[in-house]
Amino acid sequence: MNKAYTKERMEKPYMINPELKVWWREDNNAVLTEASYIIADGYKGAGTIKTWGQGNRYPGQTKIVETYGKYAKYHTLKYKWELKQEVEWLLQNDTAYAEIIDFAKQMCDEMEYDWRNFKGYKGPVKRTPGKKYAVCEGYADEVMSKILELDCVESVQKWSSSGHAWNVLKLTDGRTLYLDLTWFDNEFINEKTGEIYQTDDYDWADITFNEDLFRHSGMGYGSRIFDHDIGKLVKEKRKDEEELIVSEVRPKRVMPVKPIKQAEETITSLRLLSIKQAEGQITSKKNGQDLQSRKSREKTKYFNFMNYFDSLLLLFGSYVFIVLALIIVTRVLWLWVVVEMARQRGRTQVGWFFVAFFLPLSFFAGMCLSFLGDTKKRRFERLLEEQRFLRKHLDDDDGSRIVKRLQEKEKEEGHPWDFRR
């Protein structure tokens, strides 16, 4: 999944004991990775340990529990990894399972999903000299026609839902194996470019002995409905027996024959019993659906409440952030004003900055500076600046009496603000 951890990169000459660590977050919803090695002798930094990729994450479903409910564990990265370990053990120790997996892989190599002619899930298998093209129903029909050649399989069933088809196998040792060749196939398509490609592994949840895993491991076409969980049996084939069509079997019409009285009473009682049983099954099913519907409503209500609560938290957090930002900006502006006032009045800027910083309200420092006014030295500097201004803009030709008087006074008494006196 990550090109940073290729075999070529993990086996460089300067690496000793390269190691790749992978672990799961507590909610099993993301994977963390880290690679490390020891620098070999003869290279810079020999003997030290180097690591990279620490904290790299491969996220899973962000709302995995909300989407899959109590079946969320079947969709976590950790469960898929554990399933792969179980599959490897079965391939080495279960001959029947290994034989069926080899059969499925061979079928996947011979067949290709008919991406161009996808309409629903129904359609016959299109055969060409080099390849077979099919959709879901075609995959299931191919399994029906060939799987009984395996010695470990006693019978095969075809199941379908509103938009999918798959198979269920009865093995000679009495076990039941659930097989979805369409989703097991490792062939995919890039919807943007139309490129067809294959992954390096298969979806092992689609050939399994675990009925619960099989029924709730895949979502049907983005509808959040488990197709395997709502399927119906279409037909079944057994070794050395004729094909049994389940969904198309209809009871033949029997000509009425007048039975004897005792037989008639027996038949009537059996019919009444069957009707009661059917009514009981319908009632149970209806109650189950009502319970499931109620649970769904309660779950939806809960998530609606959580969404509302999250919105309130977001709104409150935004309000707090804006208030804090305004306080910080106001504080900085007041500190700048106090420092500028201290500079203009000839007072220590750093000292007044700390005074304003540690006061609860910075404008108190500004008020103090306003009351204190300029220092004596600053007042002298202002007077000197005024004199320079007058000398620059008023000359003798202007006829100003004030300038002339000041000049005469300076000649007689010297400059009145001379610091050397």
| pLDDT per residue as tens digits for the range 311-323 | 778 888 888 889 8
User: So what's the pLDDT on residue 419?
Assistant: 45
Q: What is the pLDDT of residue 57?
A: 59
Separation CA 134–CA 112 (nearest Å): 7
* Residue 66 DSSP one-character state: H
The pLDDT, as a whole number, for residue 252 is 37
Report pTM. 0.50
Could you tell me which residue, 378 or 73, shows the higher pLDDT? 73
Most confidently modeled range among 20-29, 72-81, 279-288, 297-306 = 72-81
In tens, the pLDDT along 285-305 reads 455 555 555 555 555 545 555
What is the reported pLDDT for 342? Answer: 79
Question: CA-CA distance, 76 to 263, in Å (whole number)?
Answer: 60
Q: State phi, psi for 271 to the nearest 5 degrees.
A: -65, -45
Q: Is residue 159 left, alpha or beta, with left meaning phi > 0 and alpha meaning psi from -120 to 50? A: beta
The HSE-up count of residue 237 (CA atoms within 13 Å, CB side) is 17
pLDDT higher than threshold 90 for residue 171: yes
Q: Position 354: which residue type?
A: F
Query: What stretches of 71-158 show up as alpha helix (H) in DSSP?
Result: 77-93, 95-110, 136-146
pLDDT at 358: 73
Give the pLDDT of residue 261: 46
Amino acid at 281: Q
- Signed CA dihedral, 326, 331, 336, 340: sign only: positive
Look at residue 239 in the predicted model and tell me its pLDDT.
Answer: 87
From edge to edge, which strands make up the β-sheet containing 164-171?
207-208, 176-179, 164-171, 153-161, 232-238, 244-245
Cα angle: 10, vertex 16, 22; to 5 degrees:
50
**192-226 in b/e burial notation, b at 16+ Cβ within 10 A?**
eeeeeeeeeebbbbbbbeeeebbbbbbebeeeeeb
The answer on pLDDT for 266 being more than 60 is: no
Residue 415, pLDDT score: 53
Provide the total of helices (H) and of strands (E) in the chain, helices listed first: 12, 14
Q: Inform me whether the pLDDT recorded for 76 exceeds 50.
A: yes
Q: Which helix (H) or strand (E) holds 112?
A: strand 111-113
Say which range, 37-41, 52-56, 235-239, 286-290, has the weakest mean pLDDT: 286-290
- Residue type at position 125: V
DSSP string of 122-183, one letter each residue: --PPEE-SS-EEE-HHHHHHHHHHHGGGSTTEEEEEEEEETTEEEEEEEETTS-EEEE-HHH
pLDDT band of residue 28 (cuts 50, 70, 90) is low
| Residue 230 pLDDT greater than 70, yes or no | yes
pLDDT given at position 170: 96
- In this structure, the number of other CB atoms found within 10 A of the CB of residue 320 comes to 10
What is the per-residue pLDDT for 188?
78
Query: Which position has the higher pLDDT, 196 or 363?
Result: 196
Distance CA(412)–CA(390), nearest Å, equals 20
- The pLDDT of residue 257 is 42
What whole-number distance in Å separates Cα of residue 138 and Cα of residue 248? Answer: 19
* pLDDT mean across residues, the chain: 75
- More confident call, 363 vs 240: 240
The residue whose two tokens read 């020891």 is 38
Tokens, residue 340: 């500028």
Q: What's the confidence (pLDDT) of residue 340? A: 81
Contact 131, 110 (CB under 8 A): yes
How far is Cα 187 from Cα 200, in angstroms, rounded to an integer? Answer: 10
- Rounded to whole angstroms, the Cα distance separating 412 from 378 reads 27
d(CA 349, CA 351) in angstroms, rounded, equals 6
CA–CA distance, 162 with 136 (Å, rounded to integer): 11
Closest CA to 204 of 107, 291, 85: 85
3-class DSSP assignment, residue 166: strand
What is the band of 347 on the pLDDT scale with cuts at 50, 70, 90? confident
Nearest residue to 143 via CA among 169, 113, 171: 169
Please give the pLDDT value at position 1: 46
What is the per-residue pLDDT for 177? 97
Does residue 118 or residue 196 have the better pLDDT?
196
221 or 95, higher pLDDT = 95
Indicate whether 85 pLDDT > 70.
Answer: yes
What band does 204 get if pLDDT is binned at 50, 70 and 90? very high
For residue 225, report the phi and psi dihedrals to the nearest 5 degrees.
-120, 130
d(CA 100, CA 150): 8
The residue with greater pLDDT, 367 or 258, is: 367
Report CA dihedral (338, 339, 343, 346) to the nearest 10 degrees.
Answer: 70
Q: What is the pLDDT of residue 313?
A: 80
User: Which range, of 82-91, 172-181, 389-398, averages the lowest pLDDT?
Assistant: 389-398
pLDDT of residue 238 exceeding 90, the answer is: yes
pLDDT of residue 88: 95
* pLDDT, tens digit (0-9, with 9 covering 90-100), for 134-170: 788 888 998 999 999 999 999 999 999 888 899 999 9
Q: Could you tell me which residue, 239 or 268, shows the higher pLDDT?
A: 239
